[in-house]
Amino acid sequence: MLIVLRQKNDQPLITHIQNLLKKKYGCESHIIGSNGRVIAVPGDTTMVEIDLIKNIEGVRSVDRVDRPYKLASRERKDRTEIKLSHGVTIGTRGTLVVMAGPCSIESEAQLDETAALAKKHGATVLRGGAFKPRTGPYAFNGLGEDGLKFLKKAGEKYEMPVISEAMNEAQVDLMEKYVDIVQVGARNMQNYDLLRRLGKCRIPVLLKRGLAATLEEFLLAAEYILAGGNPDVMLCERGIRTFEEEVRFTLALGSVPALRELTHLPIIIDPSHAAGKARWIADTSRASVAIGADGLIIEIHPRPEEALSDGPQALDEAHWTECMEGIRAIAGAMGKKLA
């Protein structure tokens, strides 16, 4: 960390800052350069509260040379590959994984029918929500554990690993019995008790970007899970909240190359919650593949108009077929194969 002061050789200020760094954070520091304005703090400065130092009268700027997340950082390693059942691996260079399924599991029959559709057109991971974070309290909020039982059964029947969302720590206990990947929804990206619990979990986690989270906050949320001892985290960009109202959320496609530089974790895109309309999802999916995502997670439904949640963005078989054709074409052009 480098702390730059406004005045040259302000000894009382230098002493104050050096004492604070030592006493509060255990950090050694020293003046560098000839004009007595730059304090260097070598080593691990992740504990130092940058705004507290910036707030000190006479400090011009504070720069963290190291990133505040260590385990998630690309400096740590090049890529994380996550191995799942049925031979599916996520994050391998040159491969693309497609996860698909209904927003919510509505019945055993609906899930079975949707899983068959997912499989038929090339998805290799089955999604299905059993605990639903709904904006209003009166909306359908999922079948709970029964839904997870149907999901596990469908995953076995169609030979696909399965993913479902947990909203709290108790639900993670259930997830460990039934699913291959736990999803953290956008609204829970900063639910730190949940993230800590997932750190103790032995199954992979798909962490969705919060509606208004910066990439640094996103990576720090991933860091919680990694720091708890679970190395298998993938990041999911699903659109952020902007002033735009025509599309459901603004898909931050540019975050893919940015995240690729910052982290080794696999990057998944959710075009469904971003676009919000079934007819826009094939286009959004192709763009997501072209920009280099490691995978996609897409909502499909045999009869979208009957869906109990997110019907407007669910792909029926015709849209789903078109979407997968586009995904295959762009993946092929990029020399990627479907995982």
Q: Which of 142, 161, 185, 204 binds ligand PEP (CB under 6 A)?
A: 185
Tokens for 295, please give them: 């995978």
Tokens for 169, please give them: 């720590």
Q: What are the beta bridge partners of residue 126?
A: 100, 162
Name which of 21 and 315 has its Cβ closer to ligand PEP.
315
Report DSSP letters for 288-324, one per residue. HHHTT-SEEEEEB-SSGGG-SS-GGG-B-HHHHHHHH
Asked if 298 touches ligand PEP (CB under 6 A), the answer is no
Q: Among residue numbers 46 through 105, which ones bind ligand PEP (CB under 6 A)?
A: 103
CB 28 to ligand PEP: min, Å: 43
Tokens for 329, please give them: 């074409």
Name which of 129 and 326 has its Cβ closer to ligand PEP.
129
Asked if 129 touches ligand PEP (CB under 6 A), the answer is yes
Expressed in percent and rounded to 5, the helix, strand and coil fractions of the chain are 40, 20, 40
- Which range of residues in 54-62, 167-175, 182-190, 223-231 is near ligand PEP by CB under 6 A? 182-190
**Residue among 152, 264, 161 at smallest CA distance from 204:** 161
Asked if 337 contacts 167 with a C-beta cutoff of 8 angstroms, the reply is no
The position carrying tokens 């910052």 is 262
Asked if 179 contacts 203 with a C-beta cutoff of 8 angstroms, the reply is yes
Q: Which pairing describes strands 95-101 and 89-90: parallel, antiparallel, or unpaired?
A: unpaired
CB 129 to ligand PEP: min, Å: 5
Q: Among residue numbers 192 through 211, which ones bind ligand PEP (CB under 6 A)?
A: 208
Name the binder of 194 from Mn ion, ligand PEP, none, CB < 5-8 A by kind.
none
Asked if 38 contacts 59 with a C-beta cutoff of 8 angstroms, the reply is no
Size of the site for ligand PEP (CB under 6 A): 10
Q: What does the alpha-carbon distance between residue 62 and residue 54 come to, in Å, rounded to a whole number?
A: 6
CB 284 to ligand PEP: min, Å: 14
Q: Which residues contact Mn ion by CB under 5 A?
A: 103, 310
Q: Which of 39, 174, 179, 186 binds ligand PEP (CB under 6 A)?
A: 186
Name which of 92 and 250 has its Cβ closer to ligand PEP.
250
The position carrying tokens 């700027």 is 61
Asked if 292 touches ligand PEP (CB under 6 A), the answer is no
Name which of 238 and 301 has its Cβ closer to ligand PEP.
238
x/- binding map, residues 221-240, to ligand PEP, per CB under 6 A?
-----------------x--
List contacts with ligand PEP (CB under 6 A).
103, 129, 133, 185-187, 208, 238, 270, 273
